Structure 1
Amino acid sequence: MILPSILVLLLAAWKLDWQAWLADKNRQHLCFGAAIALVPLWMLQAGVKEGLEVHFLGLTTLALMLGWRMGVLMGTLSLLLITLFGFEPWSDFGVNLLLGVIVPLSFSYFVFLLTYSYLYRHLFVYIFVAGFFNAALTIAVKTLLFAGYVLWSELYSWQVVQDNYVGILPLLLFPEALLNGMAITLLVVFKPRWMRTFFDRDYLINK
Structure 2
Amino acid sequence: MGLTNDLFPRWLLLLTALLFAGVLLRAIRQTDWQWLRSEQRIQHCLFGAAVVLGFLWQLRAGLSPGLSIHIFGMTAVTLMLGWPLAVFSGLLALVIVVITGREPLSLFAVNGLITVMVPALVTHGIMRWERWVNFRNFFAYIFFCGFFGAGASVAAAGLTMVGLLWLTGVYDWYHLVHDYLRYLPLFLLPEGFVNGVVVTGLMVFHPELLATLDERRYR
Q: TM-score, normalised on structure 1?
A: 0.93
Answering whether residue 53 of structure 2 is matched by residue 29 of structure 1, we say no
Q: Distance in 1 between matches of 2:41 and 2:134?
A: 32
| Residues 107-186 of structure 1 mapped to structure 2, 5 A cutoff | 107-186=122-201
| Residues 6-45 of structure 1 mapped to structure 2, 5 A cutoff | 6-45=21-60
Q: Distance in 2 between matches of 1:162 and 1:146?
A: 12
User: Partner letter of residue 40 of structure 2?
Assistant: K
Aligned residue number for residue 200 of structure 1: 215
Per-residue deviation, 1:76: 1.3
CA-to-partner distance for each residue in 1:102-126, whole Å, 9 max, x for gaps? 1221011101110111141321001
Contact 2:75-2:149 within 8 A present in 1 as well: yes
SS in 1 for 2:152: helix
CA-to-partner distance for each residue in 1:41-62, whole Å, 9 max, x for gaps? 2111112312221111111111
Q: Distance in 2 between matches of 1:94 and 1:185?
A: 31
Q: CA RMSD in A?
A: 1.4
Runs of 4+ in 1 over 6 A off after TM superposition: none
CA-to-partner distance for each residue in 1:174-207, whole Å, 9 max, x for gaps? 111111110000011111111001122112x2xx
Contact 2:63-2:69 within 8 A present in 1 as well: no
SS in 2 for 1:156: coil
**Unpaired stretches in structure 1, ≥5 consecutive residues:** none
Aligned residue number for residue 47 of structure 1: 62
Aligned residue number for residue 5 of structure 1: 20
Contact 2:75-2:120 within 8 A present in 1 as well: yes
CA-to-partner distance for each residue in 1:13-57, whole Å, 9 max, x for gaps? 124232332232222111110111111221111123122211111
Aligned residue number for residue 5 of structure 2: none
**Unpaired stretches in structure 2, ≥5 consecutive residues:** 1-15
Aligned residue number for residue 79 of structure 1: 94
Per-residue deviation, 1:141: 0.9
- Amino-acid identity (%): 37
Q: TM-score, normalised on structure 2?
A: 0.88
Q: Distance in 1 between matches of 2:34 and 2:185?
A: 44
Contact 1:52-1:164 within 8 A present in 2 as well: no
SS in 1 for 2:177: helix
SS in 2 for 1:135: helix
Q: Distance in 2 between matches of 1:63 and 1:16?
A: 13
Q: Aligned residues, how many?
A: 204
Q: Distance in 2 between matches of 1:4 and 1:157?
A: 25
